[in-house]
Amino acid sequence: MNLSLCLLLCLVAVSPPLSAAAKAPNIILMMGDDHGWEETGYHEHPHVKTPVLDEMAATGLRMDRFYAAHPSCSPTRASFLTGRHPNRMGTFAPGWSFRPEERTSAHILAKAGYQCSHFGKWHVGAVKKESPVSPLSMGFHECLSHDNFFELNPSLSRNGGPPEVFQGESSEILIREAIRFIDRAQKADQPFFTIVWFGSPHEPYSGLPADLAQYDDLPAKYTKKVKLTSNETGGPTTRSQGEVLRERYAEITAMDRAIGRLRQHLAAAGLRDNTLVFYCGDNGTSPDAALGFPHRGVKGQMYEGGILVPGLMEWPARIPQQRTTNVRATTSDLLPTLCAITGQALPSRPMDGVDLSPLLDGKMMDRPKPLYFWEYGFRNVDQSKPYIDPELQEGTTPLAKKSAGKATRDFTNFHHASITETDYFGPRAIIDGSFKLVIHDSKKGESKHELFDLKSDPAEKTNLIDQQPSTAERLKLELRDWQKSTLESLTGADY
């Protein structure tokens, strides 16, 4: 052996292992169902207890201006997976699937060598094996999933098979399954990518006795009547808001505890430093539970109360100290950020999200492009040509809430061959810097425009449309241009 080779081998033998930040990070992305911005302890909610989320906010990256891409669940989930606005793929509202041609974060990370799994609510298509938009069809190696939401003792489908009833609190069940997957990936020495989409705290509500007991004082404090679903009948009912909040907050606290168990396991397994752990909500607080502060609006609306959600990220190897940021970010940013972190190319099609990796390092002070929101007027959609065979869109996993007498949910998506002026309608908004323009169309074809300065008026109380018409007009034109691009995608042009 020559001297040079000997020195090289000695160097390799004594070289330290790669730092945690240099290795492929493990990735866990979690999302609550209908969990609004204000419903956390760290945002000073007067009642709800979230000690684990509070600890994440105190140790990691706290994103105080994190948005769901849409004010309702299925569309936001499509954006979460693809980095694109849901209208580009016809995921207009709850119960509308995305399309098989979409490229998800699981597709991309599987190619990068990750083991990919999905646990919990799916709601962007049927979860059964035959579905072309099931978790397994869309890039995940394993799943334990539900077509929609679920409560205690949920029925879940493992890897697209027939639904099975799992006894217990649903958030705890999902985290237990996620931990088993993580352990298998670690044993195989593979990085893991895990999505956990909780069924909580979506109505109808249910909670464990110990969690309910923490909120026994609420029924006496909130006595107005609210509408929601009955766990007993699956149909609509009216109840006292205090009773509803007691159950809802019990669900949030149980979900928070389950996240704590996951973090504890990562620490015990030596995985915490190089695991990116993220949490957000999928839209704002639902009307039955909203207390009217500090933002205007609720789930289903374009105001901040409908789209602003909790946003938290931990990754000690890259985020060693706590930071709070007011840079605006959204669920569409997740895929571009994961591509940047793992060195993978973005899909070659229009993307609405941006790479947030500079934000993780404290190097992003402002969002580089506007945020766009749009609830498409899907009732005008031509439904003569389904995008996916309707039989493949039929759901299998039952839930408490019945729809047209059914305890399962079906999905839909349609080809959209041409663009007309009415395609541009529907509640929509743009946020550029601190300014936000909100547009609503009336049944008479007229539009209502509202302009807010979110920096000085985060509650959206003062309409500046008359004081700053040039700003409103600029934002209106930018929004229209983006809508044109989105509608071109809807026709299938990106595929």
- 203-247: per-residue pLDDT in tens? 999 999 999 999 999 999 999 999 999 999 999 999 999 999 999
The angle at the Cα of 401, spanning 399 to 405, to the nearest 5 degrees, equals 100
Residue of 138, 198, 148 whose CA lies nearest to 169: 198
Burial 476-488 (b: 16+ CB within 10 A, else e): bebbeebbebbbe
Question: Hey, what amino acid is at 380?
Answer: N
Name the domain count of the chain: 2
Tell me what percent of the residues of the chain surpass a pLDDT of 90: 93
Last residue of a domain, one of 329, 345, 365: 365
What is the rounded average pLDDT of the residues 355-372? 97
Mean pLDDT of the 360-385 span: 94
Specify the pTM.
0.94
Residue 351 lies in a domain: yes
- The whole-number pLDDT of residue 177 equals 98
471 within a domain of the structure (yes/no): yes
Which residue type, as a one-letter code, is found at position 419? I
| pLDDT band, very low/low/confident/very high, at 196 (cuts 50, 70, 90) | very high
Evaluate if residue 20 carries a pLDDT over 60. Answer: no
For residue 380, the enclosing domain spans 374-490
Q: Report the share of the chain in percent with pLDDT over 70.
A: 96
111 and 249 part of one domain: yes
pLDDT value of position 248: 98
Indicate whether 414 pLDDT > 80. Answer: yes
| Residues 361 and 391 both lie in one domain | no
Q: What is the mean pLDDT of the chain?
A: 94
Return all residues near 213 (Cβ < 8 A) that are at least 6 apart. none
Same domain, 267 and 213: yes
d(CA 414, CA 412): 7
What does the pLDDT read at residue 58? 98
pLDDT per residue as tens digits for the range 157-195 = 999 999 999 999 999 999 999 999 999 999 999 999 999
| Domain contains 16 | no
pLDDT digits (tens, 9 = 90+) for 447-491: 999 999 999 999 999 999 999 999 999 999 999 999 999 999 999
* Across 362-386, average pLDDT: 94
Residues 335 and 424 reside in one and the same domain = no
Confidence of residue 388 (pLDDT cuts 50, 70, 90): very high
Same domain, 323 and 395: no
What residue type is assigned to position 121 of the chain?
A: K
Contact 247, 207 (CB under 8 A): yes
Write the pLDDT tens digit of every residue in 88-112. 999 999 999 999 999 999 999 999 9
280 pLDDT higher than 50 = yes
Q: Do residues 272 and 392 share a domain?
A: no
d(CA 296, CA 280): 19
The verdict on residue 17 lying in a domain is no
Statement to judge: residues 385 and 358 lie in one domain: no
- Confidence check: pLDDT of 8 > 60: no
pLDDT value of position 22: 58
Nearest to 287 by CA among 373, 227, 207: 227
Residue 11 lies in a domain: no
